[in-house]
């Protein structure tokens, strides 16, 4: 089967096990809601803006509903019932009145409940239609400007903390050859249980993800697309405590890719596992509707766990991310599954091991635009060695046909890269892809040789791990530190107090719309 001679029976077994392991988590997500899911619903219904303290009106509104009737019924019906009772036409005005304590919420019945459901669905449908229009707009611009003529797409990060500084850096990166610009989010934003408002200039090691910052950067990259004659894509984050809201805002502002991993927030931000899985499913439903490519975070596991010993955990996570994504409605072309070049270069045959792991990912997910991540863990501050290591990374990407190649920086772990660092890094990428961009057509591992044997072993270990997880549960495996050696119990972690099981009358108009074909 392919260049690695993988046994199709083993591959099918791996996917079936991933389905068995993942289905209970999907069932959990389908029977629970969170404050962020409900806020995303109201954002789609038109709630916007923030109070003088910077807290979004949508937070104030959901908090008021929860205080009066709880979370488990959903907020749509109580909100639109109150809107009718108050004689208001603007849900943001209702939020402002609720924040002032002048509105009470109740659970209507009979004709009042039917009317509230109908009104909420109409309002949310208008927001979803906006997302549909932005997706159609992207399709028109791609046809007009064109896509890059070659793969992989070159993915480059900007992260100054100041959106008005990010914009010229992003445009300069696009002129130098970047196809995808990722605006790294400010440190700590994933732990904020609200989305900041407006354009921001004070982020630390990144720029706050806000709707206005999304709008500004998208407009700037549209200018670059016109200038360069190719569509330049924009990436940000749908992760942390506000994953569903970020997804909704990204759809409304025509972002093209979003970081959205099934377990990253659990493992590396200590966000409650149930909160994360519920938020993830809704956010991925929005991504599916918006035509957004997700980027998963398997590369992060290898920053804490050994890239050789724990390679199979990356494969397991990729298979789970694939299952969760498909269940939420994402197509293969939207699955930027993550993997990384993180083996210690002092390990004998490290490059051959990297080839085996990269080719395994490529062959397991042939229709996915895999996101290939550069070396970071073993960068030493020696920029010459680092640039060479990045060159090896680029070469492996060319040899294995990766879809999205994140540009490695020789100053990784030393400083936040300068523009000049990015220019040198892009020169490295351009040279390797120019000299060897089609090498994946010719590269075929020796039958029964090192690369084939290593890939087959990793796949076998992944199947064994999935079998062990299936005997217990995915939540138990996460609690025991199976992924990234982080132990995260399901009854702990940030955001648990914002989770509720559905009551019998739970209603979410957004889910109702998103689960039907567009």
DSSP for 186-212? PTTGGG-SS---S-----SSSB---HH
Counting residues of the chain whose pLDDT is more than 90, the rounded percentage is 89
Q: State residue 518's pLDDT score.
A: 61
Q: Across the chain, what does the average pLDDT equal?
A: 95
Kindly state whether residue 135 falls inside one of the protein's structural domains: no
- 432-442, pLDDT tens digit by residue? 999 999 999 99
Q: 335, 323 in Cβ contact below 8 A?
A: no
Q: How far is CA 456 from CA 215, 338, 441, 442, 443, in A?
A: 45, 19, 21, 21, 18
Looking at the annotation, which residues are catalytic? 264, 299, 371
Whether residue 34 is predicted with pLDDT greater than 90 in this model: the reply is: yes
Q: State residue 483's pLDDT score.
A: 84
Tell me which residue range forms the domain holding 89: 32-125
Label residue 306 by pLDDT band (50, 70, 90): confident
Mean pLDDT of 205-225: 97
**For the whole model, what pTM was predicted?**
0.95
Residues near 453 by beta carbon (within 8 Å), at least 6 away in sequence: none
- 242-281, pLDDT tens digit by residue? 999 999 999 999 999 999 988 889 988 999 999 999 999 9
Mean pLDDT of 3-21: 97
Kindly state whether residue 83 falls inside one of the protein's structural domains: yes
Kindly state whether residue 139 falls inside one of the protein's structural domains: no
**What token pair was written down for 312?**
């199979």
Q: How many domains does the chain have?
A: 1
Kindly state whether residue 312 falls inside one of the protein's structural domains: no
Counting residues of the chain whose pLDDT is more than 70, the rounded percentage is 99
Give dist(CA 8, CA 6) in Å, integer: 6
Length of the chain in terms of residues written: 518
Kindly state whether residue 68 falls inside one of the protein's structural domains: yes
Kindly state whether residue 224 falls inside one of the protein's structural domains: no
Q: State residue 55's pLDDT score.
A: 96
Q: State residue 484's pLDDT score.
A: 76
Q: State residue 1's pLDDT score.
A: 66
Kindly state whether residue 388 falls inside one of the protein's structural domains: no
Kindly state whether residue 356 falls inside one of the protein's structural domains: no
Q: How far is CA 319 from CA 92, 404, 509, in A?
A: 41, 18, 30
């Amino acid at each position: 089967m392919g260049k690695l001679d993988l046994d199709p029976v083993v591959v099918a077994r791996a996917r079936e096990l991933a389905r068995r392991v993942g289905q209970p988590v999907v069932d959990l997500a389908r029977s629970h809601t969170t404050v962020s899911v409900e806020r995303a619903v109201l954002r789609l219904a038109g709630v916007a803006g923030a109070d003088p303290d910077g807290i979004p009106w949508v937070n104030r509104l959901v908090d008021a509903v929860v205080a009066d009737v709880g979370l488990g019924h959903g907020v749509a019906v109580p909100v639109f019932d109150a809107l009718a009772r108050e004689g208001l036409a603007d849900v943001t005005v209702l939020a402002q009145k609720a924040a002032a304590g002048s509105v009470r919420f109740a659970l209507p019945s009979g004709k009042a409940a039917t009317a509230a459901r109908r009104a909420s669905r109409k309002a949310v449908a208008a927001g979803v239609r906006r997302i549909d229009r932005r997706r159609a707009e992207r399709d028109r611009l791609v046809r007009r400007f064109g896509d890059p003529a070659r793969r992989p797409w070159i993915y480059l990060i900007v992260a100054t903390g100041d959106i008005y500084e990010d914009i010229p850096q992003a445009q300069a990166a696009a002129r130098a050859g970047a196809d995808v610009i990722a605006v790294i989010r400010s440190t700590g934003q994933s732990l904020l249980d609200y989305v900041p408002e407006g354009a921001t200039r004070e982020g630390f090691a990144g720029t706050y993800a806000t709707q206005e910052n999304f709008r500004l950067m998208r407009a700037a990259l549209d200018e670059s697309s016109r200038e360069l004659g190719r569509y330049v894509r924009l990436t940000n984050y749908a992760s942390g405590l506000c994953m569903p809201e970020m997804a909704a805002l990204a759809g409304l502002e025509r972002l093209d890719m979003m970081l959205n991993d099934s377990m990253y927030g659990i493992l590396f931000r200590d966000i409650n596992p149930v909160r994360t899985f519920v938020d993830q499913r809704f956010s991925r439903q929005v991504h599916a509707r918006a035509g957004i490519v997700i980027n998963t975070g398997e590369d992060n596991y290898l920053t804490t766990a050994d890239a050789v010993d724990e390679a199979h955990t990356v494969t397991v996570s990729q298979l789970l991310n694939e299952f969760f994504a498909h269940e939420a409605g994402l197509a293969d072309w939207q699955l930027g599954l993550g993997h990384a070049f993180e083996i210690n270069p002092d390990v004998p045959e490290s490059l051959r091991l990297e080839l085996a792991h990269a080719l395994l990912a490529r062959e397991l997910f042939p229709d996915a635009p895999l996101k290939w991540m550069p070396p970071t863990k073993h960068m030493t501050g020696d920029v010459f060695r680092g640039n060479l290591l990045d060159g090896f990374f680029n070469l492996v990407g060319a040899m294995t046909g990766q879809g999205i190649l994140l540009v490695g920086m020789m100053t990784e772990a030393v400083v936040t890269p300068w523009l000049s660092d990015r220019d040198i890094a892009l020169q490295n990428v351009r040279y390797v892809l120019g000299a060897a961009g089609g090498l994946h057509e010719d590269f075929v591992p020796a039958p029964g040789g090192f690369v084939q044997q290593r890939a087959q072993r990793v796949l076998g270990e992944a199947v064994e791990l999935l079998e062990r997880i299936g005997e217990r549960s995915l939540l138990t495996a996460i609690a025991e530190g199976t992924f990234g050696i982080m132990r995260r119990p399901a009854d702990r972690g940030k955001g648990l107090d914002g989770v509720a099981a559905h009551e019998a009358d739970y209603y979410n108009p957004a889910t109702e719309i998103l689960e039907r074909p567009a």
